[in-house]
Amino acid sequence: MGPTIAFRMLHEAMPAALRGDLGPLGSLVFDYRFRMGSIENCSFSHPGLVELAGQLESLWHDKAATMLALSSVGPAFFALTDDPDRCGDRFAELDMDVIHARPHNGTYEETGLVP
């Protein structure tokens, strides 16, 4: 598994990301999390995690999310998407708390408190 991940990262994901295309990275992360046993390995501390992941998979297959993954060892899932309402609605349907955020690629800055 390690050599496959490294190859895909070096030869697919990184070159595409340099062109502004996160699709191959999203595909690699999805495969690692959903197909290579990563979610199952994290499910020891979160009963129902594997089932929840299965209910979210359609967001990836239907191309609603460029990246869909489990955060660290969970229990949070996240989606990078151009369609936040669709992804957020699906998360909400599954009784998940939904937080909308935007990536910040700049340096640290104080922005004040958010109510």
**Above 70 in pLDDT, residue 83?**
yes
The tens digit of pLDDT for each residue in 7-25 reads 999 999 999 999 999 999 9
* Secondary structure (DSSP) of the chain: -HHHHHHHIIIIIHHHHHTT--HHHHHHHHIIIIISSHHHHHGGGSTTHHHHHHHHHHHHHTTS-SEEEE-TTSS-EEEE-S-HHHHHHHHHHTT----------S---------
pTM exceeding 0.95 = no
Rounded distance between C-alpha atoms, residue 71 and residue 74, angstroms: 5
The tens digit of pLDDT for each residue in 51-65 reads 999 999 999 999 999
